[in-house]
Amino acid sequence: MLIIVGSDHAGFPLKAPLVDYIKSLGHEVEDIGSFDEQPVDFPDITRQLTSRLQHEQGGRGLLVCGTGVGASIAANKVRGIRAAVCHDIHSAHQSVEHDNVNVMCIGAQIVGLWLAKDLVSAFLKADFSTDEEFRRRVAKLAEMDAER
C-alpha cells in the first residue's frame, strides 16, 4: 500500500523514524515533509498530503503534528478524506474497520515512538468491514461530503 506521510515542525521528530518503520512493514512511503523543525503551518502540510491522497485510490495518509488535532481538523475539510486522531490501539484499527478512516493523525507531543509504531501498525493492518451497517454509514459521510 502507498502511505503518504507528512508532519509539521512539531511532528517532525516522530515522523522521521515512523517513515523507516512503515517501510520496514513492506509499504511504499511518500514523505511530503517537513524535513526539519523549521516552523510550518499544519494546514499547509495537510493540504499537500490530502491533495496527493485524493489521487491515490486505496492509499492512506499519516499526519503527525503536536497533538494530531490540528491536522485532523484540516484533513477532514477535504473531500474524500476521513481523518481521525488515534492514540489508542483500538481506535487505530476500529476507525478503519468501521469508519473507513484513510488518514490517521497522531501527536508527537502526546505519544512516544513505541506506541506510535503500534498505532501505525494497527492502522495499516486494518481493512474496512464489508458489513452493511458500516458501508451504509460511510456512504452517508460521502453524501455529506458531496453536499458541502
Ligand X SMILES: O=P(O)(O)OC[C@H]1O[C@@H](O)[C@H](O)[C@@H]1O
Interface with ligand X, residue 100, by CB under 6 A:
no
From candidates 8, 93, 95, 116, binder to ligand X by CB under 6 A? 8
Pick 42 or 123: Cβ nearer ligand X:
42
Interface with ligand X, residue 67, by CB under 6 A:
yes
**Binding-site size, ligand X (CB under 6 A):** 9
Per the CB < 8 A criterion, the answer to whether 65 and 107 are in contact is yes
Please report, in angstroms and rounded to a whole number, the separation of the first and last CA atoms in the chain.
29
* Closest distance of CB 38 from ligand X, Å: 11
Query: How is residue 39 annotated by DSSP?
Result: -
Residue numbers annotated as active site:
65, 98
Asked if omega into 34 is within 30° of 0 (cis), the reply is: yes
* Nearest-angstrom CA–CA distance, 35 and 22: 17
Q: Quick count: other Cβ atoms within 10 Å of Cβ 18?
A: 24
From candidates 52, 66, 94, 129, binder to ligand X by CB under 6 A? 66
- Nearest alpha carbon to residue 14 among 115, 113, 123, 121: 113
Pick 68 or 93: Cβ nearer ligand X:
68
Interface with ligand X, residue 104, by CB under 6 A:
no
Interface with ligand X, residue 103, by CB under 6 A:
no
Interacting residue ranges for ligand X, rule: CB under 6 A: 8-10, 42, 65-67, 69-70
